[in-house]
């Protein structure tokens, strides 16, 4: 098999696995059946069955990974549409997101030291609450392992939508906008999507929480590097 045909085959596999994941999710409609979890599992199964090297897979799906950047930029639009909500509650939003993000990073580093995890692993964990492309960039900047970070972001997103609504109710949060903000800050894209189920303003607050925490993290990252070393 030539290198070229191998590349196309793997790209088709990825898109195919994603489509299957979406279909199954529509039928089953459960959190664990989300295509973000199902499709990678399917692809890993096929790759190991055909003994395909991960490096080959990585090269052939480079196009998709590259498109993640522009895809991320599309998030600006809902943010722009709901700019008025943001401006009305500027101070609580900014304080909430920055304190929340700090608490997240601090708790990650604290518990990770308790478990005596390796430095690259801790650094890969630190940006896990922000959206994947940003988290991967931050992780790369800090000397972490981007693939691990991508996994951690996904695990965070899934745990966020599983426990988020319950935890927030238990914490006595009744304001839906605040709930949306917290979901976006804690579980980024997946959390914001869950918040959007409560309504469009809630979804926009989710996107806002996700974006602000990402910005905050990017600004904080060089400082963090200094602290960790």
Partner 1 sequence: MLYGIAVLVTDFFALPVPPVLTGMVLFFLLLVTGVLKPAHFEHSSGLFYRHMALFLVPSIVGVMKYWGILRQQGWALFLIIVVSTIFVLITTAWVAMLCKQGGKQNDGG
Interface positions, 21-80, toward partner 1 (CB under 8 A): 34-36, 39-40, 43-44, 47-48, 54, 57-58, 61, 64-65, 67-77, 79-80
Cα 17 to Cα 46: distance, rounded to the nearest angstrom: 10
DSSP state of 118: -
Draw the binding track, 84-123, toward partner 1 (x: CB under 8 A; -: no contact): -----x-xxx-xxx-xxx-xx--xx--xx--x-x---x--
* Of the candidate residues 123, 125, 195, 224, the single one contacting partner 1 (CB under 8 A): 125
Draw the binding track, 164-183, toward partner 1 (x: CB under 8 A; -: no contact): x--xx--x-x-x--xx-xxx
- Nearest residue (CB) to partner 1, 3 versus 171: 171
- Please report where in the chains the tokens 């609450």 appear, as a residue: 129
Kindly tell me the sign of the dihedral angle through the C-alpha atoms of 24, 26, 27, 32: positive
Closest separation in Å from C-beta 46 to partner 1: 10
- Nearest residue (CB) to partner 1, 3 versus 61: 61
Could you tell me where the DSSP H helices lie in 2-145? 3-28, 35-49, 54-60, 62-73, 76-81, 83-88, 90-114, 119-125, 132-142
Q: Is 228 in the site for partner 1 (CB under 8 A)?
A: no
Burial class (CB in 10 A: 0-12, 13-18, 19+), 95: exposed
Interface positions, 191-210, toward partner 1 (CB under 8 A): 209
């Amino acid at each position: 098999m030539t290198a070229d045909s191998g590349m196309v085959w793997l790209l088709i596999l990825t898109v195919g696995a994603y489509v299957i994941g979406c279909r199954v999710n529509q039928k089953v409609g459960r959190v664990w059946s989300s295509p973000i979890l199902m499709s990678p599992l399917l692809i890993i199964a096929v790759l190991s069955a055909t003994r395909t090297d991960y490096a080959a897979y990585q090269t052939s799906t480079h196009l998709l990974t590259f498109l993640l950047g522009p895809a991320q930029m599309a998030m600006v639009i809902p943010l722009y549409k709901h700019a008025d909500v943001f401006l009305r509650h500027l101070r609580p939003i900014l304080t909430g997101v920055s304190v929340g993000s700090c608490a997240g990073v601090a708790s990650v580093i604290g518990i990770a030291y308790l478990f005596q995890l390796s430095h690259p692993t801790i650094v890969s964990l630190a940006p896990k609450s922000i959206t994947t492309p940003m988290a991967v960039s931050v992780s790369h900047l800090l000397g972490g392992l981007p693939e691990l970070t991508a996994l951690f972001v996904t695990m965070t997103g899934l745990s966020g939508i599983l426990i988020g609504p319950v935890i927030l109710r238990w914490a006595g949060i009744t304001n839906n906008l605040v709930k949306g903000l917290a979901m976006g800050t804690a579980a980024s894209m997946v959390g914001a999507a869950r918040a959007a189920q409560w309504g469009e303003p809630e979804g926009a607050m989710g996107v806002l929480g996700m974006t602000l925490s990402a910005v905050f993290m990017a600004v904080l990252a060089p400082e963090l590097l200094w602290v960790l070393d």
